[in-house]
A and B are shown apart, each in its own frame.
Chain A
Amino acid sequence: MKVAFPYFGYDTIALKNFLEMLGAEVVLPPLPTERTLSLGTKYSPELICLPFKITLGNFIEALEAGADTLFMAAGARKCRFGYYHFIQETILKQIDNNVDFYPISQYTPFEFIFQKMPKIFSVSPARVMKSINFLLAHSRLIENFRKLVRQARVIDFTLASIHEKHALEIIADAINLMQIRKARKEIKALFNFADDLPENIIKVGLVGEIYLMLEPFANHDIEKELGKMGVLVLNNRSLYRHIKHLLHIDFDRIKLNHRAYKYLKESPGGEALNTVGEARTFIKNGVDGIIHIFPFTCMPENIALEALQKMSDDYSVPILSLSIDEHTSKIGLLTRLEAFIDILKRVKNQKAVSRVPRSSLLTPH
C-alpha cells in the first residue's frame, strides 16, 4: 500500500510523519507546479474553486509516482470542500481504476480513531491516538517555525531562506516527542538573529481560506513575497489549530467567533467566522493592513469579504482582497501587493489615519 495525499504547505511533513507512524508507506507527489495545476484544471468542473484543481493535480501526479491509496479530507457541510471527494474519486477512478480512495470525514474524530484508521492500517485505536498526539506536537513545532521564519525574513531575507531549509530538515527528522523538543530549541537558536524586530516595521495580518493561506503554491508564496518587501506577516491559521478545532479543544475559536459576531451572526460555513474574528483581533493588536486571500467564487469568504469591508470602514484599516484562481498571474498579484504595501507605508508615515474608499478595493478580476 503506497499512500499519498495532497500537499498542505509546510504541514505536509507533519501529515506524512503521522501516516508513517501508522505504518503506511507514503509516496509524496512532486511539489505542485504549473503542470499540477493544468492537469487538475483539465479534469475539473469548470466553475469549481481552486483548491479542488490543485489537489486533484496532486493526486494525478501521485498516481504517476506510484501511489495506489489516496487520502482526502471530507465532511459534507455548507462549503464545497466537503464534497470534493465525490467528484475527485470519480475522476481518479477513470484515470486509474485500481486506486483506493479514502475520504476522511473531518467532523467525526471518534469514527476516525476507533474505526476508520484501525481498519485501513490494521492498528489499534491506542496507536491512532498516540499518532494524533504526535501529529499535534509536530504541527505545533511547524507553527512555531513558521512564526520564527516570518520574523527572520524581515531582518535578513537571504539568511532566513538558508536557515529555513536547514530548519525543514530538522523538522522532517524529528520522529518522536523527545526529538521534537530538541528540534524546537535548535530552530529557535537558528532564528535568534531575528528576536528583536525594529519598531517601525509594517505589519500585515493574513486572513482567508485555510488552504490558500497555508499552501505556498496556491497563494503564489505570498508570505515570502511580503517578507522580501520587509513586511511582517501575521498568520494565525495552521494545521495545529485546525486539528485542535476538529478535536474540539481549540478554545481560541470561542473568542474568535465572539469577535466575529459583530459582523456575522451565524456561521456561513467554511472559515468565514475565523477570517472575520482573526481580522478583528489583528486590528485590535495593531496591524497596518489586512490581506484577505481566498479562492475565486469561494462562498463563505465572499460573505466574509462584505464583513471585512465594513470592518475596514469602521476601524480605518486598509484591506486588500485577493481572490485567486488558475488564471491569476503572479505578476499581477505582485503589483497589487506592492501597491498595497506602498499605501500602508504612506499611511504609517503620515500617521494620519485615512479611510480607504470601497472603490479602491483591489481585486484581481
Chain B
Amino acid sequence: MEAYLGIDVGSISTKGVVLSKDYKVIASAYHRTQGKPVEAIKGLLKELQNQSNHTKIIGAGTTGSARRLAGVMLGADIVKNEIIAHAVASSYYYPDVRTIIEVGGQDSKIIILRDGIPIDFAMNNVCAAGTGSFLEHQATRLGIPIEEFGKYALNAKFGVTIAGRCTVFAESDMVHKAQMGITTEDIIRGLCDAIVRNYLNTVAKGKDIKPLILFQGGVAANIGVKTAFERALEQQVVIPENFLVMGAIGAAMLAQEYINDSKITKFAGFETANTKFITKAFECKDCPNSCEVIETFRQDQIIDRYGDRCGKWSEEVK
C-alpha cells in the first residue's frame, strides 16, 4: 500500500502520521522532544514503521518549529510551516471550519479560514503564560497528573483571577492565592480562565472568531481549557479526533499535493532511524553579530547549516 508520511516537530513534542492516499490515518505516534529533536524523530520513525507494515512511503512532509532539521534528516519532499499544515488538515476533515485555535507546547496561534482557505492568522508574540509547558509545570508543582488537570477545573465552584504577563509572575500570583486558602480546584479553573483570557486578548485580538471553532494542539486534551474557551466565546468549541497530530496530517497532505502522483519522493526511508545524525552549533566570530550557526551531520558528512545572518555558512552547503 502506498502512503504519505507527515512529521510535526514542535518544541515540546514530536508527532508523526502515516496517511493513506484517501486520507486515513494508518499510523500515528507521539514523542517528547525533550530538547533532542534528532532522537525524537528517530524514535518516532521506529514506532511509525512498526505500526504500518507493508506500506510504501511515496511522499514525506515536515512541519513544526524544527521542520527544517526534520526535512533535512528525512529527505522530505516538502517543508511547510505549521500554520498552513494545520489549516490544510482541518479544512479537509471539517470543511465548514472558520476558526482554528491551536495551543501547543510553547506557542499558540489562531487561524481564520473562509471557504476552506486560510485568510488570516496570528501567533503569540510575547510569552503569554498560556501554553502547554506552563500548564504542565503547574500540574507538577501542584502534584496533579496533567491528564487530570482539566477535571479539577470542572469541579471548581468559582474562578479566581490570576494576574501575570509572564509565567514567573503568574506563578507567584498563584502561590499567593493558594496561601490565602483558595482551593486547588478554584485556582486551576482560574488558571484555565487566565490562559483563555490571555489568548483572546493577545493572539486572537481583533480576529473575527466565527463557528465552526476547532481547538487543537496538546492543550486541547485539557477539558478545563476547552470549557473556559466555551465560556469566554459563548460558543461551542470542537476538538477534532486527531487533535494532537493535525499538524503532521497536514504535512502529509501537503506532501501528497506536492508529489501529485508524478514526482518521485526524496524520502530516505524508515532506515533513517538507524543512521547517525549529529547537530552542532558554533558561534561565528567573523563579525560582531556573532550568529549561532547550527550544523547537521549525517554519518560525519555535513548536510545542512543555518542560523547565519549573512548566509556565507549556509550557502556553502547548498
Q: Tell whether A144 is near chain B: CB-to-CB under 8 Å.
A: no
Encode B201-232 as 1/0 by CB contact (under 8 A) with A: 11001100000000000000000000000000
Residues A41 and B201 in contact in the complex (CB < 8 Å), given A329-B172, A329-B173, A332-B172: yes
Q: Tell whether A106 is near chain B: CB-to-CB under 8 Å.
A: no
> Which B residues are CB-close (under 8 A) to A38?
197
**Complex alpha-carbon distance, A321 and B106, angstroms:** 31
**Complex alpha-carbon distance, A38 and B196, angstroms:** 12
**Complex alpha-carbon distance, A358 and B92, angstroms:** 56
Contact B200 A42 (CB under 8 A): yes
> Which B residues are CB-close (under 8 A) to A34?
161
Q: Tell whether A196 is near chain B: CB-to-CB under 8 Å.
A: no
Q: Tell whether A288 is near chain B: CB-to-CB under 8 Å.
A: no
> Which B residues are CB-close (under 8 A) to A364?
169
Query: Please, how many residues of chain B have a CB less than 8 angstroms from a CB on the other chain?
Result: 14
Q: Tell whether B291 is near chain A: CB-to-CB under 8 Å.
A: no
Interface residue ranges of A11-31 to B (CB < 8 Å): none
Q: Tell whether A352 is near chain B: CB-to-CB under 8 Å.
A: no
> Which B residues are CB-close (under 8 A) to A45?
205-206
> Which B residues are CB-close (under 8 A) to A266?
none
Residues A329 and B202 in contact in the complex (CB < 8 Å), given A34-B161, A38-B197: no
**Complex alpha-carbon distance, A364 and B206, angstroms:** 27
**Complex alpha-carbon distance, A42 and B176, angstroms:** 26
Chain B min CB distance to A317 (Å):
28
**Complex alpha-carbon distance, A327 and B170, angstroms:** 9
Encode A325-359 as 1/0 by CB contact (under 8 A) with B: 10111111000000000000000000000000000
Residues A365 and B165 in contact in the complex (CB < 8 Å), given A331-B172, A332-B173: yes
CB nearest to B205 among chain A residues = A46
**Complex alpha-carbon distance, A46 and B200, angstroms:** 10
Residues A42 and B201 in contact in the complex (CB < 8 Å), given A34-B161, A325-B165, A327-B165: yes
**Complex alpha-carbon distance, A331 and B162, angstroms:** 11
Task: Please tell me the size bucket of the interface on A.
Answer: 10 to 19
Interface residue ranges of B67-104 to A (CB < 8 Å): none
CB nearest to A331 among chain B residues = B176
Chain B min CB distance to A331 (Å):
5
> Which A residues are CB-close (under 8 A) to B165?
325, 327, 365
Chain A min CB distance to B218 (Å):
24
**Complex alpha-carbon distance, A177 and B172, angstroms:** 51
Encode A199-221 as 1/0 by CB contact (under 8 A) with B: 00000000000000000000000
B173 in complex: contacting residue of A42, A46, A331, A365, CB < 8 Å: A331
> Which A residues are CB-close (under 8 A) to B206?
45
> Which A residues are CB-close (under 8 A) to B169?
327, 329, 332, 364
CB nearest to B200 among chain A residues = A42
CB nearest to A327 among chain B residues = B165
**Complex alpha-carbon distance, A329 and B180, angstroms:** 15
Encode A29-50 as 1/0 by CB contact (under 8 A) with B: 0000010001001100110000
B163 in complex: contacting residue of A42, A46, A329, CB < 8 Å: A329
Contact B164 A327 (CB under 8 A): yes
Encode B181-202 as 1/0 by CB contact (under 8 A) with A: 0000000000000000100111
A-B pairs with the 5 shortest C-beta distances? A327-B165, A329-B163, A329-B173, A46-B205, A331-B176
Using a CB–CB distance below 8 Å, which chain B residues touch chain A?
Answer: 161, 163-165, 169, 172-173, 176, 197, 200-202, 205-206
Sample 12 A-B pairs with CB under 8 A, ordered by A number. Answer: A41-B201, A45-B205, A45-B206, A46-B205, A327-B163, A327-B165, A327-B169, A329-B172, A329-B176, A332-B172, A364-B169, A365-B165
